[in-house]
Amino acid sequence: MIHIKEISVQDTFPIRLEVLRKNIPLPHEFNGDFDTDTIHFGAFKNDELIAVSSFMKASNPNFEGSQYQLRGMATLSEYQGSGAGKLMLQQAFVILRKKNIAVLWCNARIAALNFYQKQGFQTFGKKFEISYVGEHYVMFKNLN
């Protein structure tokens, strides 16, 4: 069974490095990581950290109302498809709604579009490229 709990930003770094930044010359530390209103989640299976995600107060001019951005969602390869990402998002939805956040948005890799759509996210705008990482779409979910 997988359980979700809040973790420190430092706890996210090893999985971010392994899954999102392996052999890529981009930082694994993000702007907003250490902000007091940023939330970091870890998914644990048998006390092993298998997935991470970070939720930061950040505004996208394309959306109205209070907003958070999802960044750095990553699951170790052997646990991808286990439901860890879905469980972290469900936990975030509850907490962000309590904070009266209207929109959660992210820059989603093309490979993750289907996953986010299944969680109720919609694409916005045109596909764009992030150097070393690949093609992305902005995706969002209204939380009201």
**Tell me, what's the pLDDT at 38?**
98
pTM: 0.94
**Tell me, what's the pLDDT at 26?**
87
**Tell me, what's the pLDDT at 140?**
98
The percent of residues above 70 in pLDDT, for the chain, comes to 100
- Average pLDDT on 100-120 reads 96
**Tell me, what's the pLDDT at 62?**
95
**Tell me, what's the pLDDT at 75?**
96
Per DSSP, the residues of 88-105 read HHHHHHHHHHHTT--EEE
- CA–CA dist 132, 23 (Å, integer): 9
C-alpha distances in angstroms, 44 versus 5, 32, 48, 92, 140?
8, 24, 5, 16, 26
**Tell me, what's the pLDDT at 144?**
85
pLDDT digits (tens, 9 = 90+) for 25-81: 888 889 999 999 999 999 999 999 999 999 999 999 999 999 999 999 999 999 999
**Tell me, what's the pLDDT at 25?**
86
Predicted confidence band of residue 5 (pLDDT cuts 50, 70, 90): very high
pLDDT tops 90 at residue 24: no
Identify the three-state secondary structure at position 77: helix
